[in-house]
Amino acid sequence: MGILDGKRLLITGVLTDASIAFRVAEVAQREGATVVLTSFGRQMRITQAIARRLPETAPVVELDVSNQEDLDALEGRVREHVDGLDGVLHSIGFAPKGAFDFMGAGWDDVATALQISSYSLKSLAVAARPLMSGGGSIVGLTFDASLAWPVYDWMGVAKAAFESVSRYLARDLGADGIRCNLVSAGPLRTMAAKSIPGFESFENSWPERAPLGWDLTDTGPAARACVALLSDWFPATTGEIVHADGGVHAMGS
């Protein structure tokens, strides 16, 4: 018997089996959940192929969080596979290359980063809300936005907005019995990390600073934190950020 027995989950962001989202889907299935994945465009075939590497092949529905038609159609597409949802994982982030130059970035690049990496949490929550009539849990992935990090620039600002969005969703969805929490993971060698210029600056220092140590290739700790928050084991927790980073967030320089 697993902690997610009978749960129906929608998981975004599965692109490779090295992603946190893939590991969440894998652990969730082993804990008893039924999983539906999302993808869009040219990535659909990749996600469908990766879905076959899960313990049970998961269906994949079309969802581009910047496309209102996709958001409006999400309920119907999900109901083709399950009759509702108990949890949603938001594992979506993108910033154009120009957004990684804080002083030089133009508004178009910043706006894209904010829409995809911040506002999309609200968009996804609104789209999934009709499927969560019995309440449930929304969990997002962040990277500690309380500090100004090297190289992260406008993506760091987007994550700060993302964390604020989560708190407002906790406020507005609480009456529906829907919790909204985030997991702040340490740096991992995922596709998202590879898109960040200078990511090696995190790689070089994080394992040394983490009192518990940190494996840059192990998505398991972050995934298990997400699964715990998607379960019923945190019934009175919302608007929270759980750090799965080896303890770096609590350390000084």
Q: Is residue 206 within 8 Å of 214, Cβ to Cβ?
A: yes
Task: Judge whether 243 and 249 are in contact, CB under 8 Å.
Answer: yes
DSSP-derived letter for residue 88 is E
Planar angle of CA 16, 9, 189, nearest 5 degrees: 25
How would you classify residue 192: left for phi > 0, otherwise alpha for psi between -120 and 50, otherwise beta?
alpha
Residue with token string 């969560």: 132
Euclidean distance between CA atoms 213 and 63, whole angstroms: 36
- Residues recognised as catalytic: 152, 159
CA distance 39 to 138: 18
